[in-house]
Amino acid sequence: MMDIVALAALCKLAIDGGNKILEEYKKRKLSEAEKELLITAAKDGEFLIMHVDGPPDWIRVGKKDFGFVPPDGDPAIAAKYQDAFKNLCKRAYIEYDTGILFRLTYAGFEKARELAKKSKKK
């Protein structure tokens, strides 16, 4: 289960934590899962952390679910998107809003829209 409070704290720490840590982390290349989440969120910037008893938590962006695993599915899929989401928090691209809602920061919108624009050109 993804702990909403811990995710919110992680996002806040990245934003408030100082430029050195943030700049070092941003030098790392985005994973494909991170890019996928950002591109999908480029329009409205909202992420919902979904939870039900049984399958691992997953991330909903608009009408698309990332990391949803049916009972007989591979839990590595959920882990991939949960890790990507946490990494985007560490990059200060995502901040906590309220409840299960997270949003792109301004830097997150810039990166998401840059990636979305590039992906349309392909």
Closest CA to 103 of 46, 36, 24: 46
Tokens matching residue 13: 């720490």
Burial (CB count within 10 angstroms: exposed 0-12, middle 13-18, buried 19+), residue 55: middle
3-state secondary structure of 52: coil
Tokens 């949803």 found at = 68
For position 26, what pLDDT does the model report?
63
Tokens 């909202």 found at = 46
Does residue 121 carry a pLDDT above 70? Answer: yes
pLDDT digits over 22-57, tens only? 566 666 789 999 999 999 999 999 999 998 877 788
Q: Which sequence spans correspond to the domains of the chain?
A: 4-121
Q: Say if residues 33 and 51 touch (Cβ distance below 8 Å).
A: no
Cβ of 1: how many Cβ atoms within 10 Å?
Answer: 9
Closest CA to 38 of 108, 117, 122, 118: 108
Residue 21: pLDDT band by 50, 70, 90 thresholds?
low
pLDDT digits over 88-119, tens only? 998 899 999 999 999 999 999 999 999 999 98
Mean pLDDT (whole number) for 78-87: 94
Does residue 1 carry a pLDDT above 60? Answer: no
